Amino acid sequence: FIGIRHVSNDESYQKGDCCRNSYDWDYVVDCSTYDTESPVELPGTCAYDTRIDLGWDEPEEIQEKLEKALRESSVYFGEAIVIGGDRMEYGNDENELIIADAMVIEVLTKNVALAA
């Protein structure tokens, strides 16, 4: 499973790093439970679903899906990274994945073009 993650201000990753788990959202106070007195850790790292199927998609399709997911996920703040893992569950937001034991595939910058 491959997703686009927009990292928090206190996160910094390099290619190959393991990601920390994300935290549930507190809808009452509209913030991450990470920032509350009762943090609720999720079973993986939240990311925007790219819908990439590595066993089926051609390189051109992978490129298109990455670019589309990056555009659509731009509503989130923070530096964008591409993460992946073997297990996932769906999150509460539309197109949200929670990827267990996620690893950084690529750190994206505004000047870097995605390459499949």
Give 16-60 pLDDT, tens digit per residue: 999 999 999 998 999 899 989 999 999 999 999 999 999 999 999
Alpha helix stretches (DSSP H) within the chain:
59-72
Rg (CA), the chain: 14
Per-residue pLDDT at 109: 73
Q: Which helix (H) or strand (E) holds 48?
A: strand 45-49
* Full domain range(s) for residue 9: 2-107
Please report whether residue 31 resides in a domain: yes
What domain count does the chain have?
1
> Which DSSP letter does residue 114 get?
P
In a domain, 115, yes or no: no
The pTM of this model reads 0.89
Q: Is residue 98 part of a domain?
A: yes
Residue 70 to residue 111: CA distance in whole angstroms:
13
At residue 76, does pLDDT exceed 80? yes
Is the confidence at residue 12, as pLDDT, over 80?
Answer: yes
